[in-house]
């Protein structure tokens, strides 16, 4: 039960004073209006995926229990004039860059209590609270032999993944995860709560599909469901000497004009600096309960160290437990399918990273994922998105470039090395004539410009929608985290 407003504010002020923190006027106003959902109790370490996020300390945290709570909080935050009223919005907390979904000395709205999942009467959509994680969604839908397009790891947030696009096991069958959103419930900059769909605010509907956190705080997503039973999952490890053969097999699948829509494939290179060793693996998943499907025959014919395969429920495959955060770096690029470019990228990374072993070590991880043109063919039928991609682009590959390490004193040298290696990889893709402009927002590093990568038309459209629904730029200036439009 919520405490009486004034006593909560007093208790909060006392707690803040006792802890030596300064409770500024902004948090006091929030506490006075919203009671005990405003707190100075810090986040648990595992609430965020990265140390860069988990080490930030907001002055207070708002933990809404309803969309109305979010509306009241945004109304107060958007009209307040004090600098402490800058705020962040946290979904599943999985974006690594510091300040994306948390804030030092401001207010963090933690959406995680809004995590209910409710199937529609006819079973064609599921209403999901914006603070849910994909574990919540798949666990619920598995019971009905249904699924919705979402993240592949269960602790990733519904909130952030859907605002940036969303690559799902099911994407070749149904498109980007954001293409499956049939309705959003959103708190706009002035605190108004609106329902947004193909027929209600269609411009905002399209802008939310890839436009990030620039338009409001989403409180609920209604997601299209589809029948789904078990699927198959094979994890294949290879000696690094097989890189060329694996890239050939990967490219045969990714480049196919008849891309098999049940394919969910990632091929990953991993380099652990302390061990001075590369490893190579493929997660060859298939969204039907078929072990060793024909499409993976060439990939499975490459001599491997191990190949474990299982038939599994979607929820069981996604299930994971929280782990303590590490430092993380993400960056991304997109290129047209080319096995030669992949091999060149590997050689370039090896030359750049092989002798680099900072204090505490670092593990580099490079995941290649098909971006088949068939996946880009669903957007138009569902109100469009803003990603600026079209099936005519042809089959492509998204590279997620990442690093993880525990010793924060190595941050600067790893950021520098990461940037150099990334630029070298980009050059290789360009020299091979396959570099594409698209930078996937959910994988992008803070130095990248994913919204601009959608192209001028999309960017102009996003800016226009932002000025219409948020004329004073609350989500541009008061919410500094994420990629901004103005």
Ligand X SMILES: Cc1cc2nc3c(=O)[nH]c(=O)nc-3n(C[C@H](O)[C@H](O)[C@H](O)COP(=O)(O)OP(=O)(O)OC[C@H]3O[C@@H](n4cnc5c(N)ncnc54)[C@H](O)[C@@H]3O)c2cc1C
Question: Least separation, in Å, of the C-beta of 362 and ligand X?
Answer: 17
- The contact mask relative to ligand X for 185-224 (x = CB under 6 A, - = no) is ----------------------------x---xx------
Of 370, 393, 377, nearest in space to 295 by CA: 370
Q: Is 163 in the site for ligand X (CB under 6 A)?
A: yes
Distances (CA, A) of 325 to 160, 177, 355, 453: 18, 26, 26, 30
DSSP class of residue 72?
H
Question: Least separation, in Å, of the C-beta of 333 and ligand X?
Answer: 15
Residue from 157, 172, 175, 445 touching ligand X (CB under 6 A): that is 157
Residue from 86, 95, 264, 338 touching ligand X (CB under 6 A): that is 95
Q: Are 141 and 126 in contact (CB under 8 A)?
A: yes
Question: Least separation, in Å, of the C-beta of 244 and ligand X?
Answer: 27
State how far the Cα of 169 lies from the Cα of 176, in Å rounded to an integer.
Answer: 10
Residue from 251, 442, 448, 458 touching ligand X (CB under 6 A): that is 442
Judging by beta carbons within 10 Å of its beta carbon (0-12, 13-18, 19+), is residue 6 exposed, middle or buried? exposed
Question: Least separation, in Å, of the C-beta of 11 and ligand X?
Answer: 28
Between 302 and 317, CB nearer to ligand X? 317
- The contact mask relative to ligand X for 97-136 (x = CB under 6 A, - = no) is ---xx---------x------------------x------
Between 28 and 126, CB nearer to ligand X? 126
Q: Is 418 in the site for ligand X (CB under 6 A)?
A: no
Sign, CA dihedral 119-120-122-125, equals negative
Binding-site size for ligand X (CB under 6 A) equals 31
Q: From 151-159, 297-305, 378-386, 429-437, give the range in contact with ligand X by CB under 6 A.
A: 151-159
- The contact mask relative to ligand X for 31-70 (x = CB under 6 A, - = no) is ------------------x---------------------
Residue from 58, 92, 175, 372 touching ligand X (CB under 6 A): that is 92
Residue from 64, 91, 106, 172 touching ligand X (CB under 6 A): that is 91
Residue from 35, 58, 84, 93 touching ligand X (CB under 6 A): that is 93
Q: From 159-167, 272-280, 284-292, 299-307, give the range in contact with ligand X by CB under 6 A.
A: 159-167
Q: Where are any strands of DSSP class E within 287-386?
A: 306-312, 327-336, 363-371
Q: Are 328 and 49 in contact (CB under 8 A)?
A: yes
Spell 137-157 as b/e; 16+ CB within 10 A means b: bbbbbbeeebbbbbbbbbbbb
Q: Nearest 5°: phi and psi at 330?
A: -120, 150
Residue from 79, 153, 242, 363 touching ligand X (CB under 6 A): that is 153
- The contact mask relative to ligand X for 329-368 (x = CB under 6 A, - = no) is ----------------------------------------
Question: Least separation, in Å, of the C-beta of 329 and ligand X?
Answer: 11
Q: Are 53 and 96 in contact (CB under 8 A)?
A: yes
Q: From 1-9, 155-163, 223-231, 371-379, give the range in contact with ligand X by CB under 6 A.
A: 155-163
Judging by beta carbons within 10 Å of its beta carbon (0-12, 13-18, 19+), is residue 304 exposed, middle or buried? middle
Query: Which DSSP string do the residues of 89-156 spell out, in sequence order?
Result: EESS----STTSS--SSSEEEEGGG---EEE-TTSSEEEEETT-BHHHHHHHHHTTTEE----SSTTS
Residue from 166, 172, 180, 211 touching ligand X (CB under 6 A): that is 166
Residue from 161, 233, 389, 444 touching ligand X (CB under 6 A): that is 161
Query: Which DSSP string do the residues of 2-66 spell out, in sequence order?
Result: PPPHHHHHHHHHHHHHHTT----HHHHHHHHHHGGGEE-PPPPGGGSSBHHHHT---SEEE--SS
The CB density around residue 75, as the number of other CB atoms within 10 Å, is: 16
Q: Is 141 in the site for ligand X (CB under 6 A)?
A: no
Of 361, 387, 67, 331, nearest in space to 210 by CA: 387
Q: Is 164 in the site for ligand X (CB under 6 A)?
A: yes
Give the footprint of ligand X on this chain (CB under 6 A).
49, 88-95, 100-101, 111, 130, 151-153, 156-157, 159-161, 163-164, 166-167, 213, 217-218, 442, 481-482
């Amino acid at each position: 039960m919520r405490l009486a407003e004034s006593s909560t504010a007093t208790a909060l002020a006392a707690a803040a004073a006792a802890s030596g923190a300064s409770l500024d006027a902004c948090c006091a106003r929030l506490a006075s209006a919203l009671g005990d959902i405003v707190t100075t109790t810090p986040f648990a370490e595992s609430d965020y995926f990265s140390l860069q996020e988990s080490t930030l300390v907001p002055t207070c945290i708002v933990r809404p229990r309803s969309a109305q709570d979010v509306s009241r909080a945004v109304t107060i935050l958007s009209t307040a004039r004090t600098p402490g009223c800058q705020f962040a919005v946290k979904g599943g907390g999985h974006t690594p860059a510091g300040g994306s979904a948390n804030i030092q000395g401001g207010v963090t709205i933690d959406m995680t209590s809004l995590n209910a999942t409710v199937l529609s009467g006819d079973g064609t959509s599921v209403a999901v609270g914006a603070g849910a994680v994909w574990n919540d969604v798949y666990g619920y839908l598995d019971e009905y032999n249904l699924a919705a397009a979402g993240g592949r790891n269960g602790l990733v947030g519904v909130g952030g993944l859907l605002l940036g696009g969303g690559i799902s096991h099911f994407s070749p069958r149904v498109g980007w995860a954001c293409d499956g959103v049939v309705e959003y419930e959103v708190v706009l900059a002035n605190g108004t709560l609106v329902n947004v769909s193909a027929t209600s605010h269609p411009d905002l509907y399209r802008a939310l599909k890839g436009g990030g956190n620039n338009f409001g705080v989403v409180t609920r997503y209604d997601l299209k469901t589809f029948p789904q039973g078990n699927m198959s999952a094979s994890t294949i490890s290879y000696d690094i000497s097989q890189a060329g053969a694996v890239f050939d097999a990967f490219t045969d699948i990714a480049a196919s004009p008849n891309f098999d829509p049940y394919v969910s494939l990632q091929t990953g290179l991993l380099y652990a600096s302390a061990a001075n060793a590369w490893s190579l693996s493929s997660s060859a998943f298939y969204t039907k309960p078929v072990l060793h499907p024909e499409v993976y025959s060439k990939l499975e014919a490459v001599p491997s160290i191990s190949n474990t395969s299982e038939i599994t429920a979607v929820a069981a495959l996604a299930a994971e437990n929280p782990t303590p955060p590490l430092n993380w770096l993400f960056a991304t690029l997109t290129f047209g399918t080319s096995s030669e470019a992949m091999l060149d990228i590997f050689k370039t990374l090896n030359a750049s990273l092989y002798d680099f072993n900072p204090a505490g070590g670092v593990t580099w991880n490079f995941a290649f994922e098909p971006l088949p043109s068939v996946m880009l063919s669903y957007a138009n039928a569902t109100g469009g998105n803003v990603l600026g991609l079209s099936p005519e682009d042809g089959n492509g590959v998204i590279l997620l470039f990442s690093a993880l390490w525990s010793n924060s004193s190595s941050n600067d040298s790893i950021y520098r090395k990461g940037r150099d290696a990334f630029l070298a990889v980009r050059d290789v893709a360009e020299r091979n004539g396959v570099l594409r402009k698209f930078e996937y927002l959910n994988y992008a590093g803070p130095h990248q410009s994913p919204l601009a990568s959608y192209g001028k038309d999309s960017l102009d459209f996003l800016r226009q929608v932002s000025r219409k629904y948020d004329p004073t730029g609350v989500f541009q200036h008061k919410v500094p985290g994420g990629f901004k439009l103005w």
